[in-house]
Amino acid sequence: MNTRWNLADLLDLEYLFGRDESIRLHEGEQVLAKRDRIIYLAKIAPKLKDTTNPSSQGLIHRWLKVRQHTPAGDRENGQEILLPGTVWREVSAIFLGFALLFGFASGLGLAGAFLVYSGTAPLNVSAFLGIFVVLQLAILLLQALLLLLRRLKRTQLQSSALYALLLRLMAAGVDWVHTRAHRNLPAEQRLNFAALFGRLRSRRAQAPLFIWPVFFLLQLLAVGFNLGVLGLTLAKVIFSDMAFGWQSSLQLSAAQIAEGVRLVALPWGWILPEGTGFPSLAQIEGTQIILKDGIYHLATQDLVSWWPFLCMALLVYGLLPRVSLLVGGLVQYRRQLERLELRSPETRRLLQRMTTPQMETGGEGVDDAHLRRGVATSLEDSMAVTEEDSVQTGPTVPSIALPVQRLILVPEELFASTDITALQQAVARIAGVGESKVQALPFSASEEQELLTQIHAEYMAQRLDEICILQEAWMPPLEETYNLLRELRRVSGAATPITVVLIGKPQGRERLTPTLPEHAAIWHKKMQALADPSLDTRTLMEVT
């Protein structure tokens, strides 16, 4: 499945996840489960007939495209939602266009100030090359040197002070533009946007992607600058009388200057030879500026022999490197997007909701057969499902590989009084079906270390896909809880999902009780503070 992500899609995905979290807290998980299962059956599954094992990234991308194109189903206070991806596209297009125009205007202005020819003294070739070519090359070489040093030291980009500054500037800039451009947005949507940027700051794996727009901005600025200088230089040569010469206080000979010019002209000398693409030794001798002699002894054909060399130097050493960096950056940026793996708790929940059949529960629950029968009606207004879409949805639905080997850790003080079978069934309802093993979480430090060693062995043997920890939500998390979660992350790798499963206060002998929303909210915020992208918080049962 060909998945084409971009930054606008990532912004929209995070924003929609934030809205879904609000729906989950206020209306319950079942509302999202039904909606996403319908989207999967009606819009995604019919297009996966020939795909035996679709990728999770592809399924998430298809789900996002459905949500992006169903504005009637996503409204706030009767107003259609403005997705942040739309804002990003508009703002980035404006900034990139402005950078190109500003660079072009800067090049015109600086070149115009330099290329003022009064007819009494030739323009200095050395000054032109130093300002418009050598300075740019020095900046490029400095950037390459810093990159090489970073590679040799194996320093991560996130540790760079410049990286942190750019991220702060980008966040501040987008906040500033959004605040002033969309003052008429509803208060709830403004809060959702603010929450979106907070969520983005916690996405450490995706954060480097947002450096690329700054890189493209700088390259377009440099491209515009070189185009401005090159364009004005050619215009001056074509439409006015220009004379170029050279002078130096270093007592350099014409032969030495000719050798240096020949070396500089190597990239194009085989196409534009001496006398055409760069001045010959005789022409260089004929354009040496001697202040006491003035300009009258210099020949016109020698004075105009420099401009092809100057334009080609500006093209080869100024414009082409920037264009190459821009194109290379676009290629690298696309490769990073193609290698992007979305492993947040929200993506795991979404995949579970889409691929887990809806089972009849005796209340208001529905099964997949009911969803298929009513899918066209359910989505007629909000998702514009066509008759063809509903007909294509058959009894066979492609599935993806979800975690099948799960370890459920129960604190030792709860283990003896917990119904293990009921716990396994309840966890399967919120985390998906799979083979679950329930184990007691011991009190003593030595036994806990033995358990951690065992978990690490299971992880290394690829017999562990997910870890769940049962916790009582009415008791706030302690430092021991944080330490345990850090140790579990250490022994199970960075990508293994760890889910804190919350239960409420005991009711008689019943341990598996519903969790109050306010208790769950506290735990959710506390767990988010750990900044672990693979750590999730779920309630075992919701208050009805």
**Does residue 93 sit within a domain?**
no
Q: Identify whether residues 377 and 441 lie together within a single domain.
A: no
Quote the number of domains for the chain.
Answer: 3
**Does residue 171 sit within a domain?**
no
Of 322, 338, 354, which closes a domain?
338
**d(Cα 225, Cα 103) in Å, to the nearest integer?**
4
**Does residue 205 sit within a domain?**
no
Domain containing 520 equals 405-539
What residues does 124 pair with on adjacent strands? Answer: 245
Burial (Cβ within 10 Å: 0-12, 13-18, ≥19) of residue 377: exposed
Q: Identify whether residues 388 and 419 lie together within a single domain.
A: no
**Does residue 206 sit within a domain?**
no
Q: Identify whether residues 270 and 124 lie together within a single domain.
A: yes
**d(Cα 398, Cα 41) in Å, to the nearest integer?**
10
280-338: pLDDT as tens digits: 888 888 777 765 555 556 666 777 788 899 999 999 999 999 999 999 999 999 888 88
Please report which residue ranges of 115-156 form alpha helices under DSSP H: 125-129, 135-153
**Does residue 385 sit within a domain?**
yes
**d(Cα 494, Cα 396) in Å, to the nearest integer?**
34
Q: Identify whether residues 20 and 41 lie together within a single domain.
A: yes
Q: Identify whether residues 412 and 381 lie together within a single domain.
A: no
Q: Identify whether residues 245 and 133 lie together within a single domain.
A: yes
pLDDT at 54: 72
Q: Identify whether residues 234 and 377 lie together within a single domain.
A: no
Contacts of 45 (CB under 8 A, 6+ apart): 393, 397, 398
What's the token pair of residue 55?
């990728």
* Pairing status of strand 79-80 against strand 75-76: antiparallel
pTM exceeds 0.75: no
Cβ atoms 220, 319 nearer than 8 A: no
All residue ranges of the chain with pLDDT < 70 are 1-3, 49-53, 71-80, 118-120, 150, 152-207, 249, 290-300, 358-404, 543-544
Cβ atoms 44, 156 nearer than 8 A: no
pLDDT at 162: 54
**Does residue 114 sit within a domain?**
yes
Q: Identify whether residues 134 and 250 lie together within a single domain.
A: yes
C-alpha of 48 from chain center: 27
**Does residue 529 sit within a domain?**
yes
**d(Cα 1, Cα 65) in Å, to the nearest integer?**
14
- Secondary structure of the chain: what % helix, strand, coil (to 5)? 60, 10, 30
167-213: pLDDT as tens digits: 566 556 555 655 554 555 555 555 555 555 555 555 666 667 878 88
Of 296, 315, 338, which closes a domain?
338
Q: Identify whether residues 315 and 435 lie together within a single domain.
A: no
Q: Identify whether residues 291 and 430 lie together within a single domain.
A: no
pLDDT at 290: 67
Of 338, 362, 381, which closes a domain?
338
CATH number of residue 423's parent domain:
3.40.50
**Element containing residue 351 per DSSP (H, E):** helix 345-355
**Does residue 186 sit within a domain?**
no
Q: Identify whether residues 508 and 457 lie together within a single domain.
A: yes
Q: Identify whether residues 368 and 464 lie together within a single domain.
A: no
